[in-house]
Structure formats: C-alpha cells, structure tokens
Amino acid sequence: MDTAGGELVRFEKVVKRFGGNTVLDQLDFTVDAGKHVTLIGPSGSGKTTILRLLMTLTQPDEGRILVDGQPLDKEVRKKIGMVFQQFNLFPNMRVLRNVTEAPVRVLGLSKDEATERAKELLEMVGLGDKLDAYPTQLSGGQQQRVAIARALAMRPKVLLLDEVTSALDPELVAGVLDVLRDIARTTDITMLCVTHEMNFARDISDRVLMFDSGRVIEAGPPEQIFNDPQQQRTREFLSAVL
Ligand code: ADP
C-alpha cells in the first residue's frame, strides 16, 4: 500500500485492558504522514497507553494497529521513536555516544556516519558544545534535548512525545519546547504528543484529540478544540488546565 503523504498510523477498534479495567475502549483514530497530533485529556484517560502500544511495550487485547499500512511488529516498530518523561539516557555514556549507540547497533551505521549525524542533531538541539559531557553533568532540560536528538538519530517516521517537559524545573521547559517547535516546523516528521502544555499544543498541532475514559470524545484543529470546544467534558478539562 502506498501511504506516501497519506495515513501513517491507524488504530482500529483497539481495546486495552489492565485487569478488569478497560483503558482503551474500541479506539479508532488515524494520523497522516507529516502531521502533528496532540492527545489531551484527564490523567488516566489512556493517552500514555497509546504511545506504549505503538512502542510495542504493551500489546492490545483486541483490534489492530497499522503503521505505514503494516501491522505493528518488531520491524515496523523501528519506524517509531519516543521521548519519555524521564529522559532515560545511558548514564555511563557521554552525550555523543548516547546518540550514536543505537544507530550503530540497530541500524548498522558506521561509527563515522553515526557520529556525523549525531553532531548535526546535537547542534540542532543546542548542545553542540556538550558532546563529551556525561548526562549527570547536564540540566534536566539539556538531558531531554539529548533524548530528542537520540530519538531522531534513528530516523523515525513517527516521533512520540510523552509529557516530555513534566519532569523539568519550570525554567527549563521553554528551551525544550522551542526545540520541538523547531523540529515540527523544519522537518517532515510525524509527531504524536501527549502534553499538558496547552500553548505548545496549540502552536504545533494540526489536530488535537481529546480523550476521556479511553475514547476520543472530540477531535479537530487546535483553534476549534481550544476556542470552541463542543463537548462539556472538553470545556471542563480545558478550564481546569488553562
Ligand atoms: P494517561 O496517560 O491518560 O494519564 P494512562 O494511559 O497512563 O493514562 O493510563 C490509563 C489507565 O491505565 C490508568 O487507569 C492507569 O492506572 C492504567 N494503567 C496504565 N498502565 C498500567 C499497567 N501497566 N498496569 C495496570 N494499569 C495500568
């Protein structure tokens, strides 16, 4: 199936349960290539579970997930990169090696190729002068920017962002969001973000999906969701977080 410019991610009637708790309830949604889609909604509504399913960190109980027209498996999963709330850098490796490690080991790039690409990416996230630092020598915001470079080094088609600023001190949030805004503006990467940063969501999103209890209760462009929400539940949620 040729999906160039078309649909890149598809959830079809996806059900996910933990014990007796139905966390995703017959969930259907799609994300088109190159688009930036933001998932918003109350805590516990299933947003992170969606990203974890895409990373194959957990499996659906029912339904199916397609990426680039193919059922999600280990190979297809390589098209997806993720940045976590807790940066999860390799603490024993310098910044540069954090970014070259997976491209060399998983993609089979030569060390030189991986290094060249890592330097470009670290420059792009504003850390061209920190190649030899260890993660603990960096601020949380800098560590998160390394994590973003590390995810991009795998050349994913889809970048998943899971509340990437929520573990940061407030003064470090803007630097990370600025880097992500730049990436959204200057690359053709598809983004799927879970965030509580509503201004950021408004800036970068092509579409916003509002979740409640494992379902999409409202979806649309950010102007519509933020300025003219149709659902009472969306209005309540936004008035609590804005
Ligand atoms: P959100 O990201 O919207 O806050 P999550 O996807 O993290 O929501 O969680 C949805 C629901 O699934 C919550 O009730 C959470 O407690 C439950 N849940 C998530 N992961 C697990 C797990 N590994 N085991 C049991 N329950 C889980």
Q: Which residue has a Cα nearest atom 21 of ligand 1?
A: 18
Q: Which residue has a Cα nearest atom 13 of ligand 1?
A: 44
| pLDDT confidence bin for 5, thresholds 50/70/90 | low
The total domain count for the chain is: 1
Q: Express each pLDDT in 11-48 by its tens digit.
A: 999 999 999 999 999 999 999 999 999 999 999 999 99
Give the ipTM: 0.97
Q: Express each pLDDT in 187-217 by its tens digit.
A: 999 999 999 999 999 999 999 999 999 999 9
Give the C-alpha separation, 238 to 232, whole Å.
10
Is the predicted pLDDT of residue 100 greater than 80, yes or no?
yes
Among all chains, which residue has been given the structure tokens 């920190």? 130
CA trace torsion 32, 37, 40, 43 (10° rounding): 80
Q: Tell me the CATH number at 175.
A: 3.40.50.300
Q: Which domain holds residue 88?
A: 7-241
Terminal CA-CA length for the chain: 41
CB 121 within 8 A of CB 98: no
Q: Which residues contact 134 (CB under 8 A, 6 or more apart)?
A: 91, 92, 93, 94, 95
Does 43 contact ligand 1 (Cβ within 6 A)?
A: yes
pLDDT recorded at residue 3: 44
pTM: 0.94
45 domain residue, yes or no: yes
Q: Express each pLDDT in 151-184 by its tens digit.
A: 999 999 999 999 999 999 999 999 999 999 999 9
Give the C-alpha separation, 138 to 132, whole Å.
11
**What number of CA atoms fall less than 13 Å from residue 162's CA on the CB side?**
21
Give the C-alpha separation, 236 to 81, whole Å.
32
Atom of ligand 1 nearest to the CA of 49: 6
1 domain residue, yes or no: no
Q: Which amino acid appears at position 138 of this protein?
A: L
Give the C-alpha separation, 138 to 9, whole Å.
34
